[in-house]
Amino acid sequence: MANRKYIVGNWKMNGLRTELTDIADIAAIAGQNKQVDVAICPPVTLITQAAANSPGFTIGAQDCHYAKNGAHTGCLSATMIREAGAIMTILGHSERRADQHESDAEVKAKAEAAHAAGLGAIICVGETEEERDAGKAVDVVCGQLEGSFPDGADPHWLTIAYEPVWAIGTGRVPEASDVEEMHAAIRHKLGKLMDEGADTVRILYGGSMNGGNAAELLAVPNVDGGLVGGASLTAEKFGPIIEAAAAS
């Protein structure tokens, strides 16, 4: 039996209170496509208000710290994120791995902290263009997955997102055959990392997914949904992706 599709919007550093009207518009579309699990991860400043609006889908965060508390200026613990109203969090996004120099070990620790606080976690993995051109894409991604994989991982709270770094926000998308190969490799690696449940861990595709290509990408074997960036900022762009997932 195929996994329920999971469509997650990552607003990144976008969004003010005046733009929360899009949450209501997205909620209306999600309500018409209840066979799809939908989440929006806005900036932390909007989590509480977005959750308080009871949109009917998951509100998540974009990161959390691995410590429960302490001298970590500017950081937020998983318990703080949960208290704000988030139900899950994205971890190890390539932009954080590159810009904040996050290591696999740090992502692993964050995932374990998120789970301990009662949050779901999406762990992101992906290769650069240079790594793909060198024929190292599968090895790099599976290596990231192994290094970032949390102890006690369970499909009820863990999701994996494959995001080829060179496709994020560029409009470039891998061939469907390349996506199929990578998602199959991730599924195989999960089987080695977990005692059971590897087949039901959802693997999302991220990297310039939009209303025009969502149906094709979501039809690829082992693609259980999408982690969507810019196209998740408005109902006009995000809605067709949700609808494509419902039809897949």
- pLDDT tens across 77-100, in order? 999 999 999 999 999 999 999 999
> How many other CB atoms are there within 10 angstroms of residue 99's CB atom?
9
Asked, for residue 142, whether it belongs to a domain, the answer is yes
Q: Which domain holds residue 172?
A: 6-86+101-238
pLDDT band for position 1 (cuts 50, 70, 90): low
Give the mean pLDDT of the chain. 96
Instruction: Please tell me the predicted confidence (pLDDT) of residue 2.
Output: 79
Instruction: Please tell me the predicted confidence (pLDDT) of residue 54.
Output: 86
Asked, for residue 92, whether it belongs to a domain, the answer is no
Residue 197's SS3 state is coil
Percent of the chain at pLDDT above 90? 92
> How many other CB atoms are there within 10 angstroms of residue 213's CB atom?
18
Burial 12-43 (b: 16+ CB within 10 A, else e): beebeeeeeebbeebbebbeebeebbbbbbbe
Q: Total domain count for the chain? A: 1
Asked, for residue 94, whether it belongs to a domain, the answer is no
Written as six digits, the tokens of 197 are 């449940």
pLDDT in tens, 111-154: 999 999 999 999 999 999 999 999 999 999 999 999 999 999 99
The catalytic site residues sit at 93, 163
Residue 34's SS3 state is coil
pLDDT band for position 184 (cuts 50, 70, 90): very high
Parallel/antiparallel/unpaired status of strands 58-61 and 88-91:
parallel
Q: What is the dihedral of CA 18, 23, 25, 31, to 10 degrees?
A: -160
Asked, for residue 96, whether it belongs to a domain, the answer is no
Asked, for residue 245, whether it belongs to a domain, the answer is no
Query: Which residues are registered as beta bridge partners of 124?
Result: 161
Asked, for residue 95, whether it belongs to a domain, the answer is no
Asked, for residue 128, whether it belongs to a domain, the answer is yes
When pLDDT is averaged across residues 197-211 and rounded to a whole number, the result is 95
- The rounded Cα 74 to chain-centroid distance in angstroms is 23
More confident residue, 236 or 171: 236
**101 pLDDT more than 80:** yes
pLDDT in tens, 64-73: 999 999 999 9
User: 227: domain CATH number?
Assistant: 3.20.20.70
pLDDT band for position 167 (cuts 50, 70, 90): confident
Q: What are phi and psi of 60, to 5 degrees?
A: -125, 180
Work out the angle at residue 229's Cα, subtended by the Cα atoms of residues 145 and 160, and round it to the nearest 5 degrees.
20
Asked, for residue 69, whether it belongs to a domain, the answer is yes
Burial 139-154 (b: 16+ CB within 10 A, else e): ebbbebbeebbbeebe
The sign of the dihedral angle between the CA atoms of 104, 95, 81, 156 is: negative
Beta strands in 157-232 (DSSP E): 158-162, 202-206, 225-228
**208 pLDDT more than 90:** no
